[in-house]
Amino acid sequence: MNTYIKYLICTFFSGLFLAPNSSRAQTEEEGKWWPHPLWGAEDQAGASNWNTPEKVLQAVSLVKTGKVYELGNVYDEQMPLIGSRSYELTVSEVPTHGPSGAEQVVFNDEFLATQIGQVGTQFDGPGHVGKRMKVDSGEETEVFYNGFTTDDIKSPTGLKHLGVEHVKPYVTRGIMLDIAAARGLTTVEVGYVATLADVHKALDLQGMSEADFRPGDALLFNFGWWKNWPDPNVLKDTPYISREVVDWIIQRQPSMVGSDATLDGGLRPNVHIDLTLKNGIWNLEWMRFDHMVEDRMFEFLFIYTPIRFKGATGSPGRPIAVG
């Protein structure tokens, strides 16, 4: 039985046996949101579970020209960094090793010191976001995706559970929503909050509708904010999506989301809480869509593979689209 059929069955029986508002249980601000209604109590992969062989075959069929689009920024010391995060790559000596042997071969190594999953184009994995709350015992603790607590995951050498190594590779159908174009701009205004009306306008301009979405799609948002990278001010007053758009995304059942900012802003981090923490819809931040916008490439084969750092909260990577 394929994953989509399982999803339909799960949704049907949930409607029979749960309370009238239970279909929104994963977006409620109060009370337990776990176990995940589709992936189960032990799941650590979240919506990457949508990445099935069937989904791969659907996505590959979208390739028409074979043109590859780079969707990630280069990692270097000029990257804007949030807070105390750092990035330093050194090659202490050139050559680092050698010469050796009859051929006098030499080698170079590098040393990288950084918050490996939380700089530059970055993927927020299962263990990145939690929320402090009161649990059944009456005690307060931090709760993460699928009900895992601080005691469950804490370890100085990497998370014991919810490490990014549990996320499955993405080879799926990608859809880009051009919010900047919906605003009649190449870059949205500072601090702009994208609404559901913007989403519908973008779909209309792209010749698409809500009926075109399928569970497991990668849903990407273009604000045109990539034009500001790597100016340090790119981190200030970033555009983001409204709560109504977050709820709309949850209903679409994507395998992940991404953008050329973080998608989050305002007083409440709706994306980090409602998408990542409560629904396991992981978020790829600080992408770029320059050539995609030029070619009006809105539907494509999307490929991204988080690096399997055991116990890491996130991952760098090189996302690409193929048209």
Residue 167 corresponds to which tokens in the numbers above? 């996320």
More confident residue, 21 or 131: 131
**13, pLDDT greater than 50:** no
Query: How confident is residue 295, by pLDDT bands cut at 50, 70 and 90?
Result: very high
The number of residues in the chain equals: 323
Q: What is the share, in percent, of the chain residues with pLDDT greater than 90?
A: 88
| Predicted pLDDT of residue 136 | 85
**293, pLDDT greater than 60:** yes
More confident residue, 79 or 14: 79
More confident residue, 252 or 16: 252
Q: What is the mean pLDDT of residues 294-308?
A: 98
| Predicted pLDDT of residue 89 | 97
Helix, strand or coil, per DSSP, at residue 45: coil
CATH code 3.50.30.50 region(s) in the chain: 3-75+124-322
Average predicted confidence (pLDDT) for the chain: 92
pTM over 0.85: yes
**4, pLDDT greater than 80:** no
Phi-psi region of 266 (alpha: psi -120 to 50; beta: other; left: phi over 0): left
| Predicted pLDDT of residue 30 | 60
**303, pLDDT greater than 50:** yes
| Predicted pLDDT of residue 208 | 98
Q: What is the mean pLDDT of residues 119-123?
A: 98
Query: How confident is residue 23, by pLDDT bands cut at 50, 70 and 90?
Result: very low
Q: Do 119 and 316 contact (CB within 8 A), yes or no?
A: yes
| Predicted pLDDT of residue 10 | 46
Given 3-state DSSP classes, what are the helix, strand and coil percentages for the chain, each rounded to the nearest 5?
30, 25, 50
Write the pLDDT tens digit of every residue in 62-91: 999 999 999 999 999 999 999 999 999 999
**46, pLDDT greater than 80:** yes
**2, pLDDT greater than 80:** no
Q: What is the mean pLDDT of residues 274-298?
A: 98
Q: What residues have CB less than 8 Å from 99, skipping those under 6 apart?
A: 105, 106
Write the pLDDT tens digit of every residue in 177-211: 999 999 999 999 999 999 999 999 999 999 999 99
Instruction: Choose the CATH number for 3-75+124-322 among 3.90.25.10, 3.50.30.50, 3.30.465.10, 3.30.360.10.
Output: 3.50.30.50
Strands (E), the chain: 68-70, 87-90, 97-100, 105-107, 111-114, 122-124, 130-134, 140-144, 170-178, 193-194, 218-222, 240-241, 256-259, 282-285, 299-304, 314-315, 320-322
**228, pLDDT greater than 80:** yes
Query: How confident is residue 35, by pLDDT bands cut at 50, 70 and 90?
Result: very high
User: What residues does 315 pair with on adjacent strands?
Assistant: 123
